[in-house]
Structure 1
Amino acid sequence: MHDVRVIGIRAFWSSLPTEGRWLLSTVAIQTLGRGLTLPFTIIYLHEVRGFDLGLSGTLMSLIAIAGLVVTGPGGSLTDRLGARTVLLAGCASMAAGNVLLAFATTPAGAAVALVLIGINFGVSWPAFNALIAAVVEGDLRQKYFGVNFALVNLGIGVGGIVGGLYVDVSDASTFTAIFLLDAATGLIPAALLLGPLRRVSGRAEPPDEDGTAEPPSYRAILRRPEVLWLSGLTFVAVFVGYGQFEAGFPGYGRQVAEVSTRVVGLAFAVNTAVIVVLQFTVLNRISGRRRTRVIAVMAVVWAASWLLLGAAGLVPASALAAIGMLAFMGVFAFGETLMQPTVPAIANDLASDHTRGRYNAISAGAFQAGAIAGPVVAGFLLEHDLASAYVGLMVVGCLGIAAMAYALERRIPPAANGVPGDAAIDPSAGAGDPAAPPAVVPD
């Protein structure tokens, strides 16, 4: 077993298998292209291609809708065909979508492009997490998810800065260039999967003698209480977290705290910086600790961040309001460094090797549902001048996450909760569902 308490990036890197190093080595470059386009797609549709703002917003929603629709089939295909095959299909869909979007001049063309991009997100998330789980095991897997998250944020953050400096709404070719670059960087995973990772399929045969048994269905997996609790926790966490990034947080900042758009943009930069700086330190501190307790701490941290945002709204159009906005994003980012390594690690440790695609698809579906519901509720409350109710709902949601984390702890095996060594046989460390299938600890 790997030494999970190593300190330092070099020691972490040396602990990874070769396949894990290949997967991690290009993450920031892959996501650089996404950062170039993510903040500017709606600007491109509205100000460059001339679609009205309502239509542009509807077109943008196609990414999430398409992703949610294909997540379930994507998880099944990951189990049946292997993560590598599904990821290659996702890469092709992403590249085609970005190339089409670069030259789209009609709403229909843009719609097809955005659906293709959404299909990639829907199938690649469960497939990529399943591939990680296939090559990295134990507590090292938790660290891997955390470092991967930090690198994703680094790539998107740098891409956003570069894109902001480069694109010009009076020159459509600048937007064409960033979408084409996004398509090119999105092909990097395909190059890895066709080259050094060509022998890593991410597919495991069901555990029977002749290898013909079908993997368990979604219905069978969703009968497990711990899966339902984890899915509910994920939904609420995204609802009060990432689901507020596109609408709730900027809307509150502009309408209630009355800060400039520059402050809003700077807050997102603070978020990225905190994640990149703190993630590895946090990973070392939470190694070997119960993941559900880490999630509970995250919930308290997020509740504090929302109270900071609420305080910013009490002193609108002031320096204190700006500080409150920046503090919210900084404290919230600290909470993200606690959530991102733990939730996917629990999901993959609950799964057996031949059901990882479905387990990750369920998590992805809960995430996407929260990301869709969050902006809708935020928009309604802020539009009706219910700012206090909005902040209060977010705080209550955070406290609910903590309660669900403790409920989840009583239902998952100690090993899935990140309890190492002898603690796994200590009844006080938490007990798993006695009806759960035996393959809850991978490898």
Structure 2
Amino acid sequence: MKAFWAALPREGRWLLSTVAIQTLGRGLTLPFTLIYLHEVRGFDLGLAGTLMALVAVTGFLVTGPSGALTDKYGARAVLIVGIVSMVAGNLLLAYATTPAAAAVALVLIGLNFGVSWPAFNALIAAVVTGPLRQTYFGINFALVNLGIGVGGIVGGLWADVDRPGTFTAIFIGDAITGLVPLFLLLGPLRHVSGRAEASDDEVATPAVGYLAILREPTVRWLTALTFVATFIGYGQHEAGFPGYARAAAEVSTRTVGLSFAINTAVIVLLQFTVLSRITGRRRTRVIVVMAAIWAAAWALLGVGGLVPGGAIATSAVLGFMAVFALGETLLQPTVPAMTNDLATDRTRGRYNALTAAAFQGGAIAGPVAAGLLLHRGLGSTYIVIMVLGCVAIAAMARRLEWHVSDVANGVRTEPALTGEGRPA
């Protein structure tokens, strides 16, 4: 860790040192937004769920344009717009008493989600290069989980449906934490645009569109892999996993809540160790190992459904989240690093936007599929589909390996760069 920190450029240190603070605000509100809309503002559950969906749908719709804008105007400019939108959305939601006001607020928050991934990853790639990228993305993931986890604990202790002002406070808190990255972008990082200057040859060349990028076999396989990994992974966190744990394994809500805490703890505790083990190894092989770990996790959860309501079911649910988290520590450093090693400085925003769109698509489709299966009592079928999804991820990773270069696959490095893509 000392060697990594010493090798980071000053801009990378600024970005990394504030991640947990930035995401703490998200943790304050993430578990409680639906509760706030339904129990505090009095919207029925159907309306509240529809309003919540606006975040994901808006994020998905703006991802493509945001990637192109990132390449044209720079990651810093796009991030500033996204952060201002998020701050405004949270402040509006804190005082929203009508569905219309809540809808506008959630659209603003969704706008930030849609632009922040491609722009933030492009900004990271502009200041952190070579093998450091993979380590950076892994540590960033651990710190994001730490911030959200701590925020969730604080929000759980503070928020009280009998005191509506406590919910107003947590949304204001989320808005305030958004001022931290805004300060960085307007202050210490104001010189980092995240936009590469075009050479004379590039100026004369037509801009590369999304269809042209998707014609590359490497990009197609990586995008498909990201979608499936999200569909059977993060797309199940808020719906499929809790639904199966309650309906099939018949565990308590306290157990479900504890499992999420275990998930966060495993990521924070193991990410550094995992990074040291996977550095220099083929990222495609790392993804295959991740798929095997996730398959074991889903099989373990399935055991809970076979013997519901007892200690075995409880252990299966808690064990699922622990094993699943281990797989997450393998996935999160590899896909973003591969994406940015595939891209050029001029196309980084669009490459990251494709990955973000695949992630958001999987996050939207995952809960829908889980809801349909679990509603019909098809718990065993649900587990089988999740395991088969893991097999598909492993197969796609192996196919991806046929096309991806050694540099993008993490086993050969390019000459060191500094700043925004300039040779050292």
**TM category, shorter:** over 0.9
* Contact 2:71-2:349 at 8 Å conserved across structures: yes
Q: Tell me which residue corresponds to 2:2.
A: 10
Q: Tell me which residue corresponds to 1:193.
A: 185
Unaligned 5+ segments in structure 1 are: 1-8, 425-440
Partners of 1:333 and 1:372 lie apart in 2 by 21
Figure out how many residues of one structure are paired with residues of the other and give that number: 418
Letter in 2 for 1:113: A
SS for the counterpart of 1:283 is: helix
What CA deviation, in whole Å up to 9, does each residue of 1:25-66 have, x standing for no partner?
Answer: 100000000000000000000000000001000000000000
Q: Is residue 68 of structure 1 aligned with residue 60 of structure 2?
A: yes
Shift of 1:20: 0.3
Identity between Structure 1 and Structure 2 (%) = 70
Q: Is residue 173 of structure 1 aligned with residue 162 of structure 2?
A: no
Q: Is residue 144 of structure 1 aligned with residue 125 of structure 2?
A: no
Q: Tell me which residue corresponds to 2:418.
A: none
Letter in 2 for 1:295: I
Map of 1:3-402 to 2, 5 A cutoff? 9-209=1-201, 211=203, 213-402=205-394
Q: Tell me which residue corresponds to 1:435.
A: none
Q: Tell me which residue corresponds to 1:415.
A: 407
TM-score (ref. length: structure 1): 0.93
Partners of 1:384 and 1:202 lie apart in 2 by 48
Higher mean displacement: 409-418 or 214-223: 214-223
Q: Taking structure 1 as reference, are residues 421 and 59 closer, same or farther at Cα in structure 2, changes over 3 Å only?
A: closer
SS for the counterpart of 1:203 is: coil
Partners of 2:33 and 2:298 lie apart in 1 by 28
Letter in 1 for 2:150: V
Shift of 1:211: 3.7
TM-score (ref. length: structure 2): 0.97
What CA deviation, in whole Å up to 9, does each residue of 1:405-442 have, x standing for no partner?
Answer: 000000011100001269x9xxxxxxxxxxxxxxxx99
SS for the counterpart of 2:280 is: coil
Shift of 1:202: 0.2
* Contact 1:351-1:442 at 8 Å conserved across structures: no
Superposition RMSD on alpha carbons, in Å?
1.4
Partners of 2:204 and 2:135 lie apart in 1 by 35
* Contact 1:67-1:122 at 8 Å conserved across structures: yes
SS for the counterpart of 1:316 is: coil
* Contact 1:222-1:228 at 8 Å conserved across structures: yes
What CA deviation, in whole Å up to 9, does each residue of 1:190-247 have, x standing for no partner?
Answer: 1001000000000012343474645311111111111010000000000000000010
Letter in 2 for 1:112: V
* Contact 1:206-1:213 at 8 Å conserved across structures: no
Letter in 2 for 1:102: A
Shift of 1:15: 1.2
Partners of 1:208 and 1:259 lie apart in 2 by 63
What CA deviation, in whole Å up to 9, does each residue of 1:117-168 have, x standing for no partner?
Answer: 0000101110000000000011110000000000000000000001000000
Unaligned 5+ segments in structure 2 are: 416-420
